[in-house]
Every structure is written in C-alpha cells, then in structure tokens.
Chains A and B, each alone.
Chain A
C-alpha cells in the first residue's frame, strides 16, 4: 500500500476528495491537522498550508476548507476501524498508530477515573503525523559508539523535534542488521509510544532490522526487564527516558551485561546533569557515549559526540571548519 493510500484510507470521504485534488507528493507531506470548525491544515515540505475545497494549497486561512464535525467523526471511525473500544489504551495515551506507522494524535474531553485519564470523549482535534524513515542517518555514528568492535552504552540527547527518534530507529536498524565492519546483534526495543517501530497489529511498519524484537506500547522500565528475561538481547533501545524507574531499570540492565541505546530530552550534557533524576546517568558514567543533536542545522543533525569523561569525539563546528 502506498503512503497516499494509507492516508486516504483514514480520512473522511470529503477530506479524501479535497486532498486528492491537491495532487501532493506524499513523501513531502509531514502532518495533517483537523480541528472542528477550523480550517484544514497540512504541513508540506517544511511549510504550513491551508487547503481549499478545490485542493489548492494557500497561505491564507479564510479560504481554507473548514473541517466539520462529520469529517472528524468519520475520520475517527476509519482510524479505529469502526472499533474505538479496541483502542482504549491508545486513546488513553492520546495517540493511535495506524498502518504505515503514521501516528494519529487525538484530543478532546478527557474522562478521569480516580484522578487518572480513563478515556477521551468528544474527540475534536486530530493530528496525523506521517511516518518518515531516514535510512542511513545513523551510519556515521557507528564508529563513534564502538570501542574495539564492542558497542558502548550510548545516550542521544536532543531537544524535541530534532530527530532523535528517527536517529534511534536508524541506529537500531544498523546495529541489528550489522554492517561491513560491525556484525549484527540481537536488539530489544521497548517502544512505549509505538514511535520507533510503529507496530500495527504487532508488525513493525518501519525497518528496524532483522535481529530486533519489540515490546510495543509497554512502559519502559517494565519492558526492559521483560526483554532481559524473555528475549536475551545484546542491546536494548529505549526512547525518551526521564522517570526514576527508567533510570533504575537502565542501571539494572547494564549490570546484566546488556548494552543500552537510549534517548533523552535535553540540549546538552549539562542540561541532562541539571535534571535530578538523570544526573546519576552522567555523574556515575553509566553511559560511555553521548550524542548531542540540535535543530540548528535541521533535524537529525549531530552537533557533538562526547565520551564518558566529557572529551569531545566529534564536533560539527570543527568538522565544518
């Protein structure tokens, strides 16, 4: 199924018609936003556009097609395959992953039960984020995260939206498949938000390597321990660590002799050090490599690579010079 078919299948009939007339290149389509009684917005090739009923991409919101209640209701029906009950857990988390690995974020009125989110009703806002793989973006990092052909515990530090998940996914694929210089190894992925592998009905929609096992929608701390017990991976990959139990689980996994490839929100090693929960990771030198991304030169661009002592192994500014 092509990317276009995957997207058309989940949109309301009216929106399908509008988007079809727009004649888009779906490789450049990044995001679709639906809000009841608000204009139909897409992010295309890095820019935001409003789409008219005739499928024209314009910058002026007033002429854009106005999304109505039926569009959103119908879209939700298609996204959930007419079975919202089957996606209760996903709805509680605020997103559903559909075929092709695209992530559908939803918002509306939250229903609470004993102070915790039970579900979302009156879903009125939908954000469709297209899944994009950037194969090869982690290739240049492989020599930096290996010492004597042995992989190191690696932490990717990046602000939101700078491509850390994309980078992590590609690194997982490369480590799992193996390359000319580095043999493939068994990788376990705890994909709490279905972002890395984007599993749909348990099948990864993204290429994450031939030796990769995935625990989909599983809390990270619990998932890491489960993988150690059940799949005996050589390396475990997790996205966006941040809670105390995640850090404890990481330490346990490392003690078990398993390698870790993780990502964390932050702008630098100092930034990570300033976070009480994450400080331990840097100060106790649990990680041997730190890869820092920044959005300055575009998403997914590596700015620096440090070792556990803070020595610079790679500096983009110097490389450029």
Chain B
C-alpha cells in the first residue's frame, strides 16, 4: 500500500512538471501566433490609411473581425467614436494596457506599438506609414527571434521541468 502511494505521488509530481513545461511552451506558441496576427493587423491598418483614407475609428472597427485581438480593437474603435477622450494618444495608451492584460505579448512586443501613439491620426499619411513600418519591422524582428529561440527554449523548458520534478521526487522519497 505504501509503495503504491509513493508510486502515485511520483506520477503526480512528474505529471505536474510535464504539464508545467507544456503550458510554458504553449504560451510561447501563443505569443508567436499573436505576433503574427498583430503584424497582419498593422499591415491592414496601413492599407486602410494609405489607400482607403479610412478614419481610425472605422479602421479599427473593420480590423476587429476575429480573435485574439477583437475585444482590444472594438474597445479602441468604440472609445474613439465616443469622442470623450482628449486625444488619440490617450485612447491608444489605455488600449495597450488592456492589450498587455488580454494577450501573451511581452513588453518588448508592445513597445513598438507605444511609438504609434503620437503618430497615428496626427501626422500626414507618409509620417503615419513610416511609423507603422517601423512598428512592423520590430514586431517581425521579435517574431523571428522568438521562432529561432523557440526550439531550443522548448527543449530547455521540458528538460528543466522534468529535472525539477525528478529532484522533487528524490527529495520526497
């Protein structure tokens, strides 16, 4: 009976370590997908500004088609349409705080977006396009770095988690 309990405990500890590694890897995978989606959103925003001359509230409403950023984009569009904020910058900065809460994006992913706060809407079209290009460059850079490191990071995460699990098991035994 004692041996059975020890075995069951061991399985639980190793299972928890494995689950922990898996969830960390999933977060990385999700971040990669979100970076890709963010890139695509900014590209669409760029074309809305460049070719359609669509005002920002309408652009964000158009972009808010699907997850994972739907609620963020709807929120920004709504706030801009309400015309209660003093400037676009206020709405955008608040929106980025919300984005960091609902996504797995890291601060370094959000930083290029922060740069857009005083450029979008305010400048002429060229200035805005340049600012979006700059943000796109950084986001793509972050995604590529993540992709390059992901394989290695995934292995390290699994190995370390399982190792920690095994060490815990040894200590408990």
Contact = CB atoms under 8 A, between A and B. Distances in A.
26 contacts: A9-B83, A13-B84, A74-B87, A77-B86, A77-B87, A81-B55, A81-B57, A81-B80, A82-B55, A82-B57, A82-B80, A82-B88, A83-B121, A84-B121, A84-B122, A85-B49, A85-B53, A85-B121, A85-B123, A85-B124, A85-B125, A85-B128, A86-B54, A86-B55, A88-B125, A201-B58
Interface string A47-78: 00000000000000000000000000010011
A86 B124 CA distance: 9
Name the interface size band of chain B: 20 to 34
Contacts of B53: 85-86, 88
B56 A82 contact: yes
B144 to A, nearest CB: 31
B59 to A, nearest CB: 8
A80 interface: yes
A81 B86 contact: no
Interface in A86-101: 86, 88
A85 B83 CA distance: 17
Contact of A74 (B56, B80, B86): B86
A257 B12 CA distance: 89
Contact of B87 (A9, A82, A201): A82
Interface in B46-71: 49, 53-58
Interface residues of A, number: 16
Contacts of B121: 77, 80, 82-85
B56 A10 contact: no
Contact of B56 (A13, A78, A83, A119): A83
B81 interface: yes
B124 A81 contact: no
B55 A83 contact: yes
In the complex, the 10 A-B pairs of residues with the closest C-beta atoms, listed nearest first: A83-B55, A82-B88, A81-B55, A82-B121, A86-B55, A78-B83, A83-B56, A86-B53, A85-B125, A83-B121
Contacts of A82: 55-57, 80, 87-88, 91, 121
Given A82-B91, A83-B121, A85-B128, 4 more contacts: A10-B83, A81-B55, A81-B83, A86-B53
Contacts of A80: 55, 121
A88 B124 CA distance: 9
B95 to A, nearest CB: 13
Nearest to A12: B86
Interface string A224-255: 00000000000000000000000000000000
B80 A13 contact: no
Query: Which of A84, A85, A119 lies at the interface centre, i.e. has the most chain B CB atoms within 10 A of its CB?
Result: A85
A304 to B, nearest CB: 44
Interface in B102-130: 121-125, 128
